[in-house]
A and B are shown apart, each in its own frame.
Chain A
């Protein structure tokens, strides 16, 4: 009998795990903080792959003067990006570091992973993990025109999980 209850517990935990993955996604809208980021043009030039768009962000390419990391990093190591909102309400990078900086008013901190150092442009490449935006079929053309100068709304949950809320045209 005991064994049966343990079995039910194990099954329940698995269902809980899957449910939490799902629920956290919906709860984010209520609890998360919404910020806007500018996209950067992507390589390859054609960012459209059937059912999703490949995105890259301005803040993912970090010039050396904003790189406040002392030591050599391995690919995949965690870095924290301190962002600040500008006059248009779009968040821009203040600095990238290994330390979680306390964010002031109109600032926020984003977790990212270090990718590589770009020798040509002298920038450090990081990945904030939101490089795919799944879209409905047959809407690719619409996005294709605009990727590279658009603004993405993302939601950051208090527990660090992020998601893309929407994609809109640039304000330029």
Chain B
């Protein structure tokens, strides 16, 4: 029923003395007038905006430097003031999008000005200034849009720094970890944790690979993320940090399965003394944490964080770790009758089996036989695991 129908129908009900006039008004009030969305107006605004944009873009090269600056600064002001005004008048969505546009204009303005005056940049400093602007907007308006924007700016800036300058931009890192990290810690919102942890993983990759650290420092960085989880989670929330750390370390172990067999990677693992100190501190901390936690099974996760790169057969050991992780979750899941753990263990076990198969059989068998046998193997495995799972579910319900 929509409002118009109610208005029509209720008129008859009043006439038939089913309801009174006041009741009719109350009924109608239950169906608020729909806001007529001004679709045409929105399109008109977009078109006019695009018109301006293309006009400026096509005349950009003929313009004098100062008039270009005027356009950049003018449009920056316009969008900022418009956004602020709209937010004050509680047109939040409009205000946010205007402010976000202004923030983007500021970023573009830095690069355009730099190009105009032949600035050569030697670092990702422009991104840092840009991220500061985004961060201040978040702190003023406490709006998650600006938080996400700032995470994106810092992360993209960091990737840019890694690719173009082969270095990790320290200030961007500090801003990301302590500024944005503090926001995540304060609010304990799942969405923010998710965005932050994706950013964290990308930052870690840039740090390790652009600065030429050996890859195994990632183990420490992921373990840190795993441990930080306690700080950003409320009771009953999904443990985002922990899950993303586990996922990352699983992928890392997968790479180890394939690459630790090569001498190049093995030779990189010479001076790992400092790594072991840092790792030991974090690991002991993690063990203690899992020991005092109410749930006595989380030590299983820690298996994945054991470094195996110092051994000549590190690739095999990585496989052992993965299998251990999968089997232990499977077994504990069956014992404790926790469906989630069983599912986790099952998926991990299947994937690991596939990895092991790829690793061991690819070189010896011809291709078609390889896929054929692999398929059969997976078939048998899934059949067996599924049967076991069903028994378990039945047993659990009985």
Taking Cβ atoms with an 8 Å cutoff, the residues of A that contact B are 3-4, 6-7, 10-11, 14-15, 17-19, 21-22, 25, 75-76, 113, 129-130, 132, 134, 161, 163-164
Within 8 Å CB of A15, what residues of B?
Answer: 73, 76-77
- Contact yes or no, B113 A14, CB < 8 A: no
Give Cα A65–Cα B77 distance, bound, in whole angstroms: 54
17 further A-B contacts with Cβ under 8 Å, apart from A3-B140, A18-B109, A19-B73, are A6-B140, A11-B77, A14-B133, A15-B76, A15-B77, A18-B72, A18-B110, A18-B113, A19-B69, A21-B110, A21-B117, A22-B116, A75-B166, A76-B166, A113-B122, A130-B120, A163-B118
Residues from chain B with a CB closer than 8 A to the CB of A129 are 120, 122
In the complex, how many angstroms separate the beta carbon of A131 from the nearest chain B beta carbon? Answer: 8
Q: Are B118 and A164 in contact (CB under 8 A)?
A: yes
Are the C-beta atoms of B166 and A22 separated by less than 8 Å? Answer: no
Residues of A within 8 A of B167 (CB): 76
A19 shortest CB reach to chain B, Å: 7
Residues of A within 8 A of B140 (CB): 3, 6-7, 10
A75 to B69, CA, bound (A): 34
Q: Does B106 contact A (CB under 8 A)?
A: yes
Given A3-B140, A10-B140, A22-B65: A132 touches B118 (CB 8 Å cut-off) = yes
What residues of chain B have their CB less than 8 Å away from a CB belonging to chain A?
Answer: 65-66, 69, 72-73, 76-77, 80-81, 84, 88, 106, 109-110, 113-114, 116-120, 122, 129, 133, 136-137, 140, 165-167
Shortest CB-to-CB span from B168 to chain A, Å, is 12
Contact residues of A: prevailing secondary structure: helix
B122 touches A76 (CB 8 A): yes
B residues near A10, Cβ cutoff 8 Å: 133, 136-137, 140
The distance from the CB of B127 to the nearest CB of chain A, in whole angstroms, is: 13
Instruction: Evaluate contact between B129 and A4: CB separation under 8 angstroms.
Output: no
Q: Which of B113, B120, B136 contacts A22 (CB 8 A)?
A: B113
Closest chain B residue to A10, Cβ basis: B136
Given contacts A10-B140, A11-B80, A76-B166, contact A163 B133 (CB under 8 A): no
Q: Which residues from A are CB-within-8-Å of B117?
A: 21-22, 25, 163
Give B122's nearest chain A residue, CB to CB.
A113
- CA separation between A132 and B65, bound complex, in Å? 18
CB pair B122–A134 under 8 Å, yes or no, is no
Q: B57 to nearest A CB, angstroms?
A: 16
Complex-state Cα separation, A161 to B165, whole angstroms: 19
